C-alpha cells in the first residue's frame, strides 16, 4: 500500500525508523553546519540512507527542517496539575526547556528567518508546528471549564479565536524572552507571567 509523502506525492511505504534517523540527522547537521551549509546530501549521509530517500519524502531543505523541528514540539505535554494556573506554568516551563536545546533553538530561528521570504514555508510552519501545538491550549481550556475555572465560549468561532489568542500570547512571550531577550524562563517568571495572563495587569502587579 502506498502512502502520501509530505510533499503530496505518492511513493513507497514510509519507514518510521528511516524518518526518525533523517530528522535527527537534520537537527544535528543544522547545529553543526548552520542553515546555509546544510544540504540534503549531508543529511542522507549522516542518516545512512540514499539521497533519493529524502527526495521521496521532502521536496527540499525547507520542508525537511520544519518537520525536524515539529517533531521536537510534539514532545510537549500538558499534565493535569489540578488548576489552570499550574497547568499554564507547567507548559511554559516545558516550552522554555525545549527552546534551551541547541537543536530546537537553531532550527526554529533558521526556519523563521527563511519564512520571511517564503510564503509556502510560513504555511508549512503554521500547519506543522503552530496548529498542532494549539492542542495544548484546547486541552487546558477544556480542563479549566470542567473545573469551573473558565466559562464556556458563546460560539465555536469565539472559542477558536480565543484559542488562537492564548497560543499567540504564550508562545510569543516565551520565545521572545528565551531567544530574543536571552533571559531565563524560570519558575518565578512563569508564575508572574501566568498571573498576568489569567488575572490581568492588576493581578500581576500584586504578585
Assign residue 55 the CATH number of its domain: 1.10.10.60
Shared-domain flag, residues 74 and 43 = no
Shared-domain flag, residues 15 and 82 = no
| 64 inside domain | no
| 51 inside domain | yes
Domain harbouring 116, CATH code: 1.10.357.10
Shared-domain flag, residues 22 and 83 = no
- The reported pLDDT for the residue numbered 7 is 44
| 109 inside domain | yes
Burial of 34 (C-beta count, 10 Å sphere; 0-12/13-18/19+): exposed
Range of the domain at 116: 70-206
pTM (global) more than 0.75: yes
Helix (H) or strand (E) holding 24: helix 16-33
Strand partners, 10: 4
Read off the C-alpha cell for 5.
509523502
Shared-domain flag, residues 182 and 129 = yes
Shared-domain flag, residues 45 and 80 = no
- The reported pLDDT for the residue numbered 76 is 94
- The reported pLDDT for the residue numbered 123 is 92
Shared-domain flag, residues 141 and 52 = no
Q: Which of 40, 59, 78 is the last residue of a domain?
A: 59
In the chain, which stretches have pLDDT less than 70?
1-14, 201-207
Number of domains in the chain: 2
- The reported pLDDT for the residue numbered 201 is 66
Per-residue pLDDT tens over the stretch 163-200: 899 999 999 999 999 999 999 999 999 999 999 999 87
Shared-domain flag, residues 38 and 78 = no
- The reported pLDDT for the residue numbered 169 is 95
**In the chain, at which residue ranges do the beta strands (DSSP E only) sit?**
3-4, 10-11
- The reported pLDDT for the residue numbered 107 is 86
Shared-domain flag, residues 118 and 151 = yes
Helix (H) or strand (E) holding 126: none
- The reported pLDDT for the residue numbered 90 is 96
DSSP state of 129: I
Shared-domain flag, residues 77 and 156 = yes
Amino acid at each position: 500500500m502506498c502512502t502520501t509523502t509530505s510533499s503530496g506525492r505518492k511513493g513507497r511505504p514510509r519507514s518510521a525508523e528511516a524518518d526518525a534517523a533523517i530528522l535527527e540527522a537534520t537537527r544535528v547537521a543544522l547545529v553543526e553546519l548552520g542553515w546555509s551549509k546544510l544540504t540534503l546530501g549531508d543529511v542522507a549521509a549522516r542518516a545512512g540512507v540514499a539521497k533519493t530517500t529524502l527526495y521521496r519524502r521532502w521536496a527540499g531543505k525547507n520542508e525537511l527542517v520544519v518537520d525536524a523541528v515539529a517533531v521536537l514540539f510534539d514532545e510537549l505535554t500538558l499534565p493535569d496539575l489540578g488548576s489552570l494556573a499550574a497547568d499554564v506554568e507547567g507548559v511554559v516551563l516545558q516550552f522554555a526547556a525545549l527552546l534551551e536545546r541547541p537543536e530546537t533553538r537553531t532550527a526554529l530561528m533558521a526556519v523563521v528567518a527563511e519564512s520571511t521570504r517564503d510564503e509556502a514555508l510560513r504555511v508549512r510552519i503554521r500547519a506543522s508546528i503552530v496548529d498542532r501545538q494549539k492542542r495544548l491550549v484546547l486541552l487546558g481550556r477544556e480542563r479549566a471549564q470542567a473545573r469551573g475555572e473558565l466559562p464556556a465560549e458563546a460560539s465555536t468561532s469565539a472559542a477558536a479565536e480565543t484559542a488562537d489568542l492564548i497560543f499567540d500570547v504564550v508562545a510569543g512571550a516565551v520565545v521572545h524572552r528565551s531567544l530574543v531577550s536571552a533571559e531565563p524562563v524560570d519558575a518565578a517568571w512563569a508564575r508572574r507571567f501566568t498571573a498576568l495572563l489569567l488575572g490581568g495587569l492588576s493581578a500581576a502587579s500584586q504578585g
